[in-house]
Amino acid sequence: MARRYDPDRRQRIIDAAIRVVGAKGLAGLSHRSVAAEADVPLGSTTYHFATLDDLMVAALRQANEGFAAVVRDRDALTGPGADLAAGLAALLGEWLGGDRTGVELEYELYLAALRRPALRPVAAEWTDDLAALLAARTDPVTARALVAVLDGVCLQVLLTGTPYDEAYAREILARVAAAPGGPRPETPSP
């Protein structure tokens, strides 16, 4: 039997894994459930992802890339003279104000790294990449503190079911950013 060429199959499997975790949580993720969701043979999932950890790494990496792209495209976060705290608070509001399923999925995969060592480097990439982007506006220690605050606010909103309070987030982000070593002042152009 001839093998059918399907260049998008790997991506369809990752997308299906994200949908499965979104609908059933990590407990519902299996090669079989993903194969059914992607409408591919079971062997295709194990061919592209030998273990569930491999599949979760790919799904987490894809989720991280989506958020990182949004952050990179924000002049409010990287543009000179922009209010960093307000930009971060607005971004968080946009992220939490949209489809919560995607945010919950990303955090479920992110927190799975506590028990699944294979996910830890990918989870660390997210914090490292975001901190590096923010370090262009502040020092590395403050950048990491801002990432920790963003994570904390997200978890509070997700776990308590309370609505996101952008003014509160802006205030605490501004306090962290104003700490010694906070946002770098503008240097005049020669």
The larger pLDDT score, comparing residue 85 to residue 187, is at 85
pLDDT category of residue 144 using cuts at 50, 70 and 90: very high
| Residue 115 vs residues 20, 92, 103, 121: alpha-carbon distances, Å | 19, 26, 20, 13
Do both 45 and 69 map to the same domain? no
Checking if the pLDDT of 2 tops 90, the result is no
Query: At which of 27, 50, 73 does a domain end?
Result: 50
pLDDT at 183: 54
Q: At residue 27, does pLDDT exceed 50?
A: yes
- Is 43 part of a structural domain of the chain? yes
pLDDT tens-digit series, residues 45-104: 999 999 999 998 898 888 777 666 777 777 666 666 778 899 999 989 988 887 777 778
Q: Give the chain's domain count.
A: 2
- pLDDT score at 110: 80
CATH assignment at residue 4: 1.10.10.60
* pLDDT on residue 40: 94
Predicted confidence at residue 190, as pLDDT, reads 42
- How many angstroms separate the CA atoms of 11 and 124, rounded? 23
CA gap 134, 182 in Å, rounded: 11
Locate all alpha helices (DSSP H) within the chain, ordered by sequence: 9-24, 31-38, 42-48, 52-72, 75-78, 84-97, 100-112, 120-135, 140-160, 166-178
Cα 168 to chain centroid distance, Å, stands at 21
- The domain containing residue 154 runs over which residues? 53-178
Structure tokens at 154: 């997200």
The number of C-alpha atoms within 13 Å of 111 and in the hemisphere containing its C-beta is 14
Prediction pTM value? 0.77
